[in-house]
Structure 1
Amino acid sequence: MDKGLLGTKTITQIGLLVHDIEKVSAAYADFFGIDKPAWFWTDTADKAQTQLRGESTEARAKLAFFDMGSLQLELIEPDHQPSTWREHLDKHGEGVHHIALVIEGMKEKIALMEGQGMKLVQKGEYTGGRYAYMDSFEPLKVMLELLENDK
């Protein structure tokens, strides 16, 4: 069997939206008996080049990462600028926002997914790579995040 549409079947991350990253980080750290990671802000718009449905946005978020063996748990506390994070948190409350896969060939993978009816919602850059959130709710019941790290 091949590796499917994206060339991988390995989920590397689960992203959760939260209202209070300090509180939720402490809860996860206590629950698992591990150190609480420091949170940090995503890059500013000039560096992140964030786009929501093709339009530039100043959106930023606080992020905290827990490395849980083969899977990473990402906590996301968005600011109030337009973003998929803010929209999802306002509409659905706290909880799962996405599952992520590391891919190669971002433009090609976005085109493949859009060809399957899964539209690009938000994309941006981060130090060392780029991301894209794809609207895969209808077929997969969760948003997929594509991560492409620089080599």
Structure 2
Amino acid sequence: MKRVDHIGIAVRDLNAVLPYYTETLGCPLLKIEEVASENVRVAFIDAGNIKLELLEAMSEESVIFAFLEKRGEGIHHIAFGVENIETRMAELREKGVRLLNEQPKQGAGGALVAFMHPKSSNGVLYELCEKQ
């Protein structure tokens, strides 16, 4: 793992929480985009040495919707920046780590992403993130 790329935070209403991050905390909003593969709307916040990725479900089919129903708003995942995501996924599989994805998929910001199952990582959902 090269570094922590971002922390994903599940929110019910992106527009309602953005002022907290941008006005109260004073963190710049970098961009907002929709990620069709995950059925989410995402806002990237610059928190200095790390980005925060605010995740709002666009439908009830989104994993973020299910997360919010079960756990409420809060930290959803921690993303590690990696090089050559497919090689890293193979290395993790060899070490017995269960992945939620067979192949990397398109994520926010044009990155390739894959997730490690929380049962393989002490209850934490980790994302592998390769920037293009």
TM-score class, shorter-chain normalisation, is 0.7 to 0.9
Any residues of structure 2 matched to 1:1-151 within 5 Å, and which? 6=1, 8=2, 10-42=3-35, 44=36, 50=37, 59-80=38-59, 82-122=61-101, 123-126=104-107, 128-150=110-132
CA positional deviation for 1:146: 0.7
Check 1:34–1:97 CA distance in 2 against 1; reply closer, same or farther (3 A cut).
closer
Number of equivalences = 129
Check 1:104–1:36 CA distance in 2 against 1; reply closer, same or farther (3 A cut).
closer
Unaligned runs of 5+ in 1: 1-5, 45-49, 51-58
Check 1:117–1:84 CA distance in 2 against 1; reply closer, same or farther (3 A cut).
farther
Q: State the TM-score, normalizing by the size of structure 2.
A: 0.81
Check 1:81–1:107 CA distance in 2 against 1; reply closer, same or farther (3 A cut).
farther
- Mapped partners of 2:21, 2:43: distance in 1: 11
Unaligned runs of 5+ in 2: none
Q: State the TM-score, normalizing by the size of structure 1.
A: 0.72
Check 1:124–1:83 CA distance in 2 against 1; reply closer, same or farther (3 A cut).
farther
- Mapped partners of 2:115, 2:60: distance in 1: 17
Check 1:133–1:83 CA distance in 2 against 1; reply closer, same or farther (3 A cut).
farther
- Mapped partners of 2:58, 2:96: distance in 1: 29
Structure 1, residues 48-69: CA drift from partner, whole Å, max 9, x if none?
xx4xxxxxxxx42110011112
Secondary structure of the structure 2 residue equivalent to 1:39: strand
Sequence identity (%) = 28
